[in-house]
C-alpha cells in the first residue's frame, strides 16, 4: 500500500488553521479575506505536491493529478461556520492533499491519479455546497444572486475576491470515477462506542413540519378554566406527547427538534389565542422519515378531536432526502479500516449534511468519519485526537489505492 | 324602600355611551377629549339631580349630596379601555347618579346622603385606579410623572385637560361610611348559572411566577436524543404537567395562564438551550394562591431532579392580594336581591380588579354584579340585558337605603 506522513499532514492542518484563527477556533467564512488567503495557500501546497493546481471561478481549489484517469476526487471544503472549529472541512481537504502527495511520491502508486479539492461555501455563508454544485453543473445563473447575511451577492463577492472571469472546474465523467470525503463525525457515537473509524452508510434526510394551534384569545382573569381554548396549553400537551409518538417509530439514530416556538399575543394577562412550533426531524432512511411525519401529523389530528384547540401541521417544502453512499466504495474503506484497527470501526449514518450529498447524484461517493471529542462541532471547542486524524488519513489512503487499483 | 326610574337610568347610560362611541363600543380613554366631555356632562347631570357636583384636580367627578352624613359613596369609573365596551365602569357611575337622584326625590328617603362618583383612570391609561388613589391620599407626587403609551405624563395630561390647579376631592372618614360599586361581571358565571345578581365576596388576588428552563444549546442533527438537554422539551412537559398540579389545589373559581413563552435561540436546526414561561394565577383566597404557588414551584423542583434540564421559578414581585368585601354590606345587598329575585342571586368573587380594591383599605366596600352576555368584556361586543341593568340598580338602591337607615 502507501504510507502517508502523519507529521506533514498535521503540520499542514495546523498551518491552515492559522487563516482566520480565533483562539482554538477558526473564523473563515466563504469569500472572506482569510478564506481567499487560505485558498491561495492551498493552491501552492498542491503545486508543491506535484499537482496542477488552480482556483476556479467560484473559489474551488482543484489540484489535478498529472496522471491520466481513472481518477479519484478526494477532499472537502475549506470555508468555516461564522464561529467554526478547526477541523470541519479543513481535515478532509488536507487528507486529499496528503493522499495525492503520498501516492505520487511512492513508486508503487505514482501512476495512480488523485485530484485533491477544497470546495467553496459548503457551510452556506452564501449558498450551501456552492462549489460542489458548480462542479457538477447544478449552479444556475439565478443562484448567483443569492446573498450572505450582509446582503452581498455571490457575484459581487466573487468579483471582490478577484475570481470573476476565471473558468469553473467541471466534473469529467470519464476521468472522475469516485469521490471520497473524510470528516470529523460532529457527534458522539464513535467516541461513546470506542470506535476510531466510521464508514458512512448514508447522509440523513431532513424534513420539517410547522404546527399551528388555533384557540381563542381571552381575558386571563374572567375566563373560567373550563371555557378556555388556550393555544399555549394545547402546544405544551402536543410538544410533550410528541416525544413518545416520535420515539415509537424512530430508528436508533433518528433525531427530532422543536427549535422554533411562538405564542400570541404574548401577554401575562391574556389567554393565548394562537401558538406555533416547528418540528425538524432527521433519519438516514426515507421510510423512517415518512413514519415520523405520519406520527406527528396523526397526533395533531388526534388532539384536534380531543381538545378545544385545533392543531394543524403543514410539512415544509424544503426537505432533504437521505443520500446513500456507494456500497462498493464503503467496502474498500471498511476493509482498509479493519486491517489497521480490527473491530474498532463501524458503519454509521451521517447526521449532518456534506458536499457528498450533491456529488453523489453524479458519481459514486463515500465518506469516512473520525471521532469528535465530546461530539462537539460548529464551535471553537471542536477537536479530535491527533492519532485519530493520522489514522483516518492512512485508512482513506489505503482505500484510495485499492479502489484505483481495481479501476485500472 | 325607593323606586329607581329604569327609563331615566337607561337614557343616561345611552347618553354617556355617545362620548367616544365607536359602533357598539366606546373609545374613551382617560383625559381624551371624549373623556373630559363625558365628565362635564356627568357633572351637569349630577347638578340636575340636586347634587353639588364638581370635577376635581385629577378628573374625578363628585356629586355631593346636600344632606349631612353619614353618607354612602356610590359609583365607578367613566374612562374606558382603548377599545372598550359601553358598560364597563359607565354602568356603575350612572347607578350612583340614579340612586342619589331617586333617594332625593322620594320624601321617605330624601334625608339620606348618597355622594355619586365617577373615578378617573381605573383602566390605567396613565396609572390604574388613579382617581380612587387620589381620593384616599395614596397618589404621590412621583406618581404624577407616570405616562400613557404615547409618553404623556399625568401632570401634562391634567394641564392639557384644563384641570390643573383644581382641588382634589378627599375621603372624609366622618361622612363617607361605605362605598358601593356596581359592575358588569365581565365573565360568564352568572349567565351560565341563570343568576341575575352577583354579590361580590372578594376581588381576586393575582400572583405570577417566571419559570426558566436551562439546558444545553446544540446541533439538531448530530446530537443524539439521549444526550440532549432540550429546554423546549422540558418546558412542554412542565406546561403540560402544570395543568393537573394546579387543578389539584385550585378552588372552583381559580384561574391560571401561561401567556408569555420564549425559546432560545429559536432556530430550526438548533436544540434550544434556554426557555422561559410566565405563569399568572388568580384566586379570591390568599391561602389558595399560596397553595397554587407551592404546587408550581414544587413541580419545577421535581422536574429539575428528573430531567437533564434545570427548571427554576421566581415569584414576581408585583402581586395583588385578594380584597375582601365588607360582610355586613354584602348582607344588605344579598337581602335586597333575594327580595326582588328570590334564589336568582349568588355570592361570587370578582375575577377582575376594580376601584374597590383601593378604597377598601380606607372604608367598608361592597360590589354588585349583573350578567355579561356571553361573558364578553374589554371588547366592543360587551353588553348586558336591559332588564338586568335596571334590576341591578333597584337592588343596589334598596341596599343603599337599608344601609343608610341602619347608620342613622
Q: pLDDT tens across A45-61, in order? A: 999 999 999 999 999 99
CA distance to partner chain B, nearest, from residue A388 (Å): 19
Q: Domain B6-203+322-407, CATH 3.40.630.10 — does that match? A: yes
Q: B278 vs A257: CB contact, 8 Å cut-off?
A: no
Burial class (CB in 10 A: 0-12, 13-18, 19+), A175: middle
H-assigned helices in B250-347: 286-306, 327-340
* % of chain A exceeding 70 in pLDDT: 100
Mean pLDDT of B251-256: 95
Q: Which pLDDT score, from 0 to 100, does residue A338 have? A: 98
| 3-class secondary-structure state, position A374 | helix
Q: A237 vs B240: CB contact, 8 Å cut-off?
A: yes
CA distance to partner chain A, nearest, from residue B347 (Å): 16
Q: How many CB pairs under 8 A join A and B?
A: 189
| 3-class secondary-structure state, position A279 | strand
* Contact yes or no for A286/A322 (Cβ under 8 A): yes
Chain B residues close to A322, C-beta within 8 Å? none
Task: Work out the pLDDT band at A320, boundaries 50, 70, 90.
Answer: confident
Nearest to A255 among B185, B220, B272 (CB): B220
Task: Work out the pLDDT band at B347, boundaries 50, 70, 90.
Answer: very high
Q: Which pLDDT score, from 0 to 100, does residue B82 have? A: 87
Q: Which pLDDT score, from 0 to 100, does residue A236 have? A: 98
Mean pLDDT of B300-305: 94
* % of chain B exceeding 70 in pLDDT: 100
Nearest to A222 among B186, B223, B262 (CB): B186
Q: Which pLDDT score, from 0 to 100, does residue A377 have? A: 87
Highest-scoring range by mean pLDDT, A313-317, A380-384, B117-121: B117-121
| CA A288 to chain CA mean position, Å | 20
| CA B273 to chain CA mean position, Å | 39
CA distance to partner chain A, nearest, from residue B243 (Å): 8
| CA B9 to chain CA mean position, Å | 22
Q: Which pLDDT score, from 0 to 100, does residue B219 have? A: 86
CA distance to partner chain B, nearest, from residue A108 (Å): 39
Chain B residues close to A317, C-beta within 8 Å? none
Q: Which pLDDT score, from 0 to 100, does residue A190 have? A: 96
Closest chain B residue by Cα to residue A276: B261
Q: A232 vs B378: CB contact, 8 Å cut-off?
A: no
DSSP, res B180: E
Give B160's contacts (C-beta < 8 A, 6+ positions apart). Answer: B31, B152
Task: Work out the pLDDT band at B268, boundaries 50, 70, 90.
Answer: confident
pLDDT at A378 over 90: no
| CA A54 to chain CA mean position, Å | 24
Which secondary structure element, helix H or strand E, spans residue A202, and what is its range?
strand A197-203
Q: In the numeric block, which cell numbers belong to residue A337?
A: 479500516
Chain A residues close to B232, C-beta within 8 Å? 239, 258-259, 261, 277
CA distance to partner chain A, nearest, from residue B275 (Å): 10
pLDDT tens-digit readout, A33-42: 999 999 999 9
Mean pLDDT of B23-37: 96
Mean pLDDT of A161-186: 97
Q: A259 vs B263: CB contact, 8 Å cut-off?
A: yes
Closest chain B residue by Cα to residue A265: B259
d(CA A110, CA A95): 17
Bridge pairing between strands A270-271 and A218-219: antiparallel
| 3-class secondary-structure state, position B1 | coil
CA distance to partner chain A, nearest, from residue B261 (Å): 6
Chain A residues close to B227, C-beta within 8 Å? 188, 375
* % of chain B exceeding 90 in pLDDT: 90
CA distance to partner chain B, nearest, from residue A269 (Å): 7
Nearest to A219 among B235, B242, B378 (CB): B378
- Count H helices and E strands in chain A, helices first: 11, 17
CA distance to partner chain B, nearest, from residue A111 (Å): 39
d(CA A6, CA A21): 22
Chain B residues close to A288, C-beta within 8 Å? none
pLDDT tens-digit readout, B228-238: 999 999 999 99
Chain A residues close to B278, C-beta within 8 Å? 268
d(CA B398, CA B408): 16
Q: A223 vs B247: CB contact, 8 Å cut-off?
A: no
Among the listed residues A330, A219, A39, A41, the one whose alpha carbon sits nearest the alpha carbon of residue B84: A219
Q: Which pLDDT score, from 0 to 100, does residue A75 have? A: 98
* Least confident stretch, A315-319, A367-371, B286-290: A315-319
Q: Which pLDDT score, from 0 to 100, does residue B319 have? A: 83
Q: Which pLDDT score, from 0 to 100, does residue B83 have? A: 86
This model of the complex carries an ipTM of 0.81
| 3-class secondary-structure state, position A197 | strand
Q: Which pLDDT score, from 0 to 100, does residue B267 have? A: 86
Q: A272 vs B253: CB contact, 8 Å cut-off?
A: no
B89 upstream amide cis, omega within 30 of 0:
no
d(CA B117, CA B121): 13
Q: Which pLDDT score, from 0 to 100, does residue B218 have? A: 86
Which secondary structure element, helix H or strand E, spans residue B64, and what is its range?
strand B61-64
pLDDT at B383 over 90: yes
Nearest to A268 among B220, B255, B280 (CB): B280
Q: Which pLDDT score, from 0 to 100, does residue B318 have? A: 76
Interface-testing mutation among B208, B220, B227, with chain A (most A C-beta atoms within 10 A): B220
CA distance to partner chain A, nearest, from residue B317 (Å): 14
CA atoms within 13 A on the CB side of A246: 24
A28 upstream amide cis, omega within 30 of 0:
no
* Least confident stretch, A403-407, B303-307, B324-328: B303-307
Interface-testing mutation among A210, A257, A284, with chain B (most B C-beta atoms within 10 A): A257
Mean pLDDT of B267-288: 94
* Contact yes or no for A314/A209 (Cβ under 8 A): yes
Nearest to A188 among B227, B237, B260 (CB): B227
Q: B263 vs A263: CB contact, 8 Å cut-off?
A: no
Chain B residues close to A303, C-beta within 8 Å? none
pLDDT at A318 over 80: no
pLDDT at B41 over 90: yes
Task: Work out the pLDDT band at B307, boundaries 50, 70, 90.
Answer: confident
Chain A residues close to B260, C-beta within 8 Å? 263, 266-268
Q: A261 vs B260: CB contact, 8 Å cut-off?
A: no
pLDDT at B335 over 90: yes
d(CA A377, CA A4): 26
pLDDT tens-digit readout, B14-27: 999 999 999 999 99
Q: Which pLDDT score, from 0 to 100, does residue A267 have? A: 85
Among the listed residues A399, A370, A398, A389, the one whose alpha carbon sits nearest the alpha carbon of residue A3: A398
| 3-class secondary-structure state, position B374 | helix
pLDDT tens-digit readout, A47-99: 999 999 999 999 999 999 999 989 999 999 999 998 899 999 999 999 999 99
Closest chain A residue by Cα to residue B353: A221
Q: Which pLDDT score, from 0 to 100, does residue B139 have? A: 94
| CA A233 to chain CA mean position, Å | 36
Chain A residues close to B187, C-beta within 8 Å? 219, 221-224
CA distance to partner chain B, nearest, from residue A20 (Å): 23
Q: Which pLDDT score, from 0 to 100, does residue B152 have? A: 96
* Contact yes or no for A362/A136 (Cβ under 8 A): yes
pLDDT tens-digit readout, B63-99: 999 999 899 999 999 999 888 999 999 999 999 999 9
Q: Which pLDDT score, from 0 to 100, does residue A294 have? A: 98
Calculate the dihedral angle through the C-alpha atoms of A214, A217, A220, A221, rounding to the nearest 10 degrees: -130
Chain A residues close to B237, C-beta within 8 Å? 236, 239-240
Fold of the CATH domain B205-315 = Alpha-Beta Plaits (3.30.70)
Task: Work out the pLDDT band at A265, boundaries 50, 70, 90.
Answer: confident
Q: B259 vs A238: CB contact, 8 Å cut-off?
A: no
Closest chain A residue by Cα to residue B273: A259
Mean pLDDT of A175-197: 96
* Domain layout of chain B by residue ranges: 6-203+322-407, 205-315
pLDDT at B326 over 80: yes
Q: B268 vs A254: CB contact, 8 Å cut-off?
A: no
Q: Which pLDDT score, from 0 to 100, does residue B305 have? A: 87
Q: Which pLDDT score, from 0 to 100, does residue B177 have? A: 98
Amino acid at each position: 500500500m502507501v504510507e502517508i506522513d502523519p507529521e506533514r499532514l498535521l503540520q499542514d492542518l495546523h498551518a491552515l488553521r492559522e487563516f482566520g484563527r480565533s483562539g482554538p477556533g477558526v473564523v473563515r467564512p466563504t469569500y472572506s479575506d482569510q478564506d481567499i488567503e487560505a485558498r491561495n495557500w492551498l493552491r501552492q501546497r498542491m503545486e508543491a505536491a506535484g499537482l496542477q493546481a488552480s482556483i476556479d471561478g467560484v473559489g474551488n481549489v482543484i489540484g489535478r493529478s498529472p496522471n491520466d484517469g481513472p481518477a479519484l476526487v478526494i477532499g472537502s471544503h475549506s470555508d468555516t461556520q461564522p464561529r467554526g472549529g478547526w477541523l470541519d472541512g479543513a481535515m478532509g481537504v488536507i487528507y486529499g492533499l496528503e493522499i495525492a502527495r503520498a501516492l505520487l511520491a511512492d513508486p508503487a502508486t505514482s501512476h495512480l491519479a488523485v485530484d485533491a479539492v477544497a470546495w467553496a461555501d459548503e457551510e452556506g455563508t452564501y449558498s450551501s455546497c456552492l462549489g460542489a454544485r458548480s462542479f457538477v453543473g447544478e449552479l444556475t445563473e439565478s443562484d448567483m444572486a443569492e446573498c450572505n447575511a450582509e446582503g452581498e451577492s455571490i457575484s459581487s463577492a466573487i468579483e471582490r475576491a478577484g475570481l470573476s472571469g476565471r473558468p469553473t472546474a467541471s466534473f469529467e465523467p470519464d476521468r472522475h470515477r469516485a469521490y471520497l470525503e473524510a470528516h470529523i463525525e460532529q457527534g458522539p457515537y464513535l467516541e461513546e462506542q470506542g470506535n476510531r473509524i466510521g464508514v458512512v452508510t448514508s447522509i440523513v434526510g431532513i424534513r420539517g413540519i410547522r404546527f399551528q394551534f388555533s384557540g381563542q384569545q381571552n381575558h386571563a382573569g374572567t375566563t373560567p378554566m373550563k371555557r378556555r381554548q388556550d393555544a399555549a396549553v394545547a402546544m405544551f400537551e402536543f410538544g410533550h406527547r410528541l416525544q413518545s409518538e416520535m420515539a415509537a417509530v424512530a430508528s436508533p439514530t433518528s433525531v427530532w427538534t422543536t427549535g422554533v416556538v411562538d405564542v400570541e399575543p404574548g401577554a401575562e394577562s391574556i389567554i393565548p389565542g394562537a401558538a406555533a412550533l416547528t418540528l425538524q426531524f432527521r433519519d438516514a432512511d426515507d421510510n423512517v422519515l415518512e413514519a415520523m411525519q405520519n406520527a406527528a401529523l396523526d397526533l395533531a389530528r388526534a388532539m384536534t378531536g380531543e381538545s378545544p384547540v385545533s392543531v394543524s401541521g403543514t410539512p415544509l417544502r424544503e426537505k432533504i432526502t437521505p443520500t446513500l453512499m456507494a456500497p462498493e466504495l464503503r467496502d474498500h474503506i471498511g476493509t482498509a479500516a479493519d486491517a489497521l484497527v480490527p473491530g474498532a470501526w463501524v458503519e454509521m449514518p451521517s447526521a449532518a449534511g456534506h458536499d457528498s450529498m450533491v456529488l453523489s447524484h453524479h458519481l459514486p461517493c463515500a465518506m469516512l468519519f473520525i471521532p469528535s471529542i465530546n461530539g462537539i462541532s460548529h464551535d471553537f471547542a471542536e477537536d479530535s485526537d491527533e492519532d485519530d486524524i493520522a489514522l483516518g488519513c492512512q485508512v482513506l489512503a489505503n482505500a484510495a489505492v485499492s479502489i484505483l487499483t481495481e479501476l485500472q
